[in-house]
Amino acid sequence: MQRQVILASTSRYRRELMNRLHLPFEVQAPEVDETPLEGEAPRALAERLALEKARAVARRFPEAVVIGSDQVADLAGEPLGKPGDHARASAQLRRMRGQTLIFQTAVAVVCQANSFEQRDLAPVRVVFRDLSDAAIERYLVAEQPYDCAGSAKSEGLGIALLEAIDSDDPTALVGLPLIRTARMLRAAGVDLL
């Protein structure tokens, strides 16, 4: 009998990505404080939060296989979170123009019943174009990416902001590295095919 699979996330982007696996799953809010710890590097923050999210939901559903994920935009070691509004998104994109960022995308899979726990990181190198203020404004009005780390949606018009994307897990930039997720689900005993 296959265990219940739960995505520990309220992100519609992660839910859409999970649907690609054609695997029945439920969604549960992890209710984890996402505040960075003092001096915490973006990579460490993403890894910690992915694992904390999976563990938080696994405590409530110990028989389930739980997936947690987190993404932090890393600008020269500084974590950039979700902007939340137009003014912050505009400020983020102005800082990022002409820069190379690493989107630190972490995923963790936890099942308390069999003491399974794995996590992995799928860093994505993203080069932003040297954008004008007018281009930034037009983009923000068109897409309103206020719920995305780094204020840009590469799966939409945000692709026009970029010079290059370098990743070995193509869905990592959207928020859930499916190659790594599938690998960990198989290791946890979930049959994907």
pLDDT in tens, 156-185: 999 999 999 999 999 999 999 999 999 999
Number of domains in the chain: 1
Instruction: Grade residue 81 by pLDDT with cuts at 50, 70 and 90.
Output: confident
Is 76 inside any structural domain?
A: yes
pLDDT tens-digit map of 112-145: 999 999 999 999 999 999 999 999 999 999 999 9
The structure's pTM equals 0.93
- The C-alpha atoms of residue 50 and residue 121 are separated, in whole angstroms, by 10
Residues designated as active site:
70
- The C-alpha atoms of residue 186 and residue 23 are separated, in whole angstroms, by 12
DSSP state of 38: T
DSSP state of 168: S
Is 192 inside any structural domain?
A: no
- The C-alpha atoms of residue 157 and residue 153 are separated, in whole angstroms, by 7
pLDDT tens-digit map of 30-42: 999 999 999 999 9
Instruction: Grade residue 2 by pLDDT with cuts at 50, 70 and 90.
Output: confident
Exposure string of 59-88, with b = 16+ CB inside 10 Å and e = fewer, is eebeebbbbbbbbbbbbeeebbbbbeeeee
pLDDT tens-digit map of 36-59: 999 999 999 999 999 999 999 999
pLDDT tens-digit map of 6-39: 999 999 999 999 999 999 999 999 999 999 999 9
Q: What is the CATH number of the domain that holds 73?
A: 3.90.950.10
- The C-alpha atoms of residue 65 and residue 107 are separated, in whole angstroms, by 13
**Tokens describing residue 188:** 């946890």
Is 193 inside any structural domain?
A: no
Q: Phi, psi at residue 24, to the nearest 5°?
A: -60, 130
Is 17 inside any structural domain?
A: yes
Question: Which amino acid does the sequence have at 39?
Answer: G
Is 182 inside any structural domain?
A: yes
Q: Are 89 and 145 in contact (CB under 8 A)?
A: yes
